[in-house]
């Protein structure tokens, strides 16, 4: 089986059929960026290549141990000063579209924010088409619970069939005091229920971030902005619980930095990029907590993959 137009079992690795290009601005840098997503060989994973003079053609594998910063986004680097920031939305889109291997050529320090969600990246992958490769996927099966965090924030991985995610957020704000959501990860569920959820922030935080040199490219075109009890975006929210869905989106992208799909269940309680990366560090530090192997039918149970979001509001 070599092409995506043949019957797919979901067991083989996939890449793009052809290269595809996009441009945009970086959320934090404000820099205009041009990016090309290209096909890649089996078992190569996702690799970024900085094509600008500052980058010097540096290659940066999208891996957990290449993460160098988790403030407001996930940044990976090559250890020699060449970095790529805000990788999580693109990685979530590739994971949700079923892409295992790709080369990302980028001429700046940050992935373009697009509309603040992963939907544009899913769209790009669909436009390029998927090529099924003649090599089985490798997966990381969670064998025992791994947990990081404290009473205020927590992230866990537990054994389970398929790849599933759940998340709880709790902000001191009437619109999102306690929201919960869950996702059984397959391509359709991610695309329809998660991919369009945008990054979000409070207006007063945006102003402070800009003083720190961050969020320079942020606007109502690429983020949900909240002021008091008002959504400033003219179109409002895309989902009633868009905030928690975006946190699931971030988690999908952050955990794709494991280098392979994780078979198990992720749960985040007020987690973020830092804890998500700490969770991967904790897993790889304990080799008894996971098993790396080729995917089997037992790892995927499509009949049980139903997205059932729920919204719980506590006064």
Average pLDDT, the chain: 88
First-last CA distance in the chain:
54
Active-site pick, 28, 89, 265, 273: 273
Q: With H, G, I as helix, E, B as strand and everything else as coil, classify residue 57.
A: coil
DSSP symbols for 69-116:
E-SSS-EEE-SSS-EEB--HHHHHHHHHHT---EEEEESSSB-B-TTS
pLDDT at 49 over 50: yes
Q: Could you report the per-residue pLDDT of 3-44, keeping only the tens digit for each?
A: 333 334 579 999 999 999 999 998 877 789 999 999 999 999
For residue 156, how far is the Cα from the chain centroid? 17
**Domains defined for the chain, CATH in brackets:** 12-136 (3.30.230.20), 138-304 (3.30.1700.10)
In this predicted structure, what is the pLDDT of residue 55? 86
Q: Could you report the per-residue pLDDT of 239-262, keeping only the tens digit for each?
A: 989 999 999 999 999 999 999 999
Nearest to 60 by CA among 19, 32, 90: 90
Q: With H, G, I as helix, E, B as strand and everything else as coil, classify residue 50.
A: strand
Q: Which residue has the higher pLDDT, 63 or 175?
A: 63
Query: What are the distances in angstroms from CA 176 to CA 49, 144, 198, 251, 309?
Result: 38, 32, 15, 18, 15
In this predicted structure, what is the pLDDT of residue 312? 34
Q: What is the pTM of this model?
A: 0.90
Q: Residues 161-171: what's their mean pLDDT?
A: 91
Q: Could you report the per-residue pLDDT of 90-102, keeping only the tens digit for each?
A: 999 999 999 999 9
Q: Residues 50-62: what's their mean pLDDT?
A: 94
Which range (93-107, 147-161, 210-224) has the least confidence?
210-224
Q: Binning pLDDT at 50, 70 and 90, where does residue 145 land?
A: very high
Q: Is 246 a catalytic residue?
A: no
């Amino acid at each position: 089986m070599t092409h995506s137009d043949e019957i797919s079992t979901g067991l083989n690795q996939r890449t793009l059929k052809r290269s595809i290009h996009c441009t945009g601005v970086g959320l934090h840098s404000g820099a205009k960026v041009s990016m090309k997503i290209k096909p890649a060989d089996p078992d190569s994973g996702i690799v970024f290549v900085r094509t600008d003079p500052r980058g010097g053609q540096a290659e940066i594998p999208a891996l957990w141990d290449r993460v160098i910063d988790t403030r407001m986004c996930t940044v990976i680097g090559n250890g020699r000063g060449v970095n790529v920031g805000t990788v999580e939305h693109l990685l979530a889109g590739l994971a949700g579209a079923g892409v295992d291997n790709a080369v990302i050529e980028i001429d700046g320090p940050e992935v373009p924010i697009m509309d603040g969600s992963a939907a544009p990246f899913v769209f790009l992958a669909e436009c390029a088409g998927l090529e099924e490769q003649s090599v089985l996927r490798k997966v990381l099966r969670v064998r025992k619970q791994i947990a990081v965090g404290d009473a205020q924030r927590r992230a866990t991985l537990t054994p389970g069939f398929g790849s599933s995610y759940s998340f709880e957020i709790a902000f001191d704000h009437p619109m999102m005091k306690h929201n919960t959501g869950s996702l059984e990860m397959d391509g359709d569920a991610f695309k329809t229920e998660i991919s369009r959820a945008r990054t979000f922030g409070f207006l007063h935080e945006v102003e402070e971030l800009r003083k720190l040199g961050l969020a320079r490219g942020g606007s109502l075109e690429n983020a949900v902005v909240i002021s008091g009890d008002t959504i400033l975006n003219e179109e409002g929210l895309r989902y009633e619980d868009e905030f928690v869905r975006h946190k699931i989106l971030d988690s999908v992208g952050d955990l794709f930095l494991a280098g392979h799909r994780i078979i198990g269940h992720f749960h985040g309680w007020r987690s973020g990029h830092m804890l998500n990366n700490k969770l991967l560090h904790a897993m790889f530090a304990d080799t008894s907590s996971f098993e790396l192997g080729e995917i089997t039918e037992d790892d995927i149970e499509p009949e049980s993959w139903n997205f059932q979001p729920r919204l719980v509001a506590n006064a």
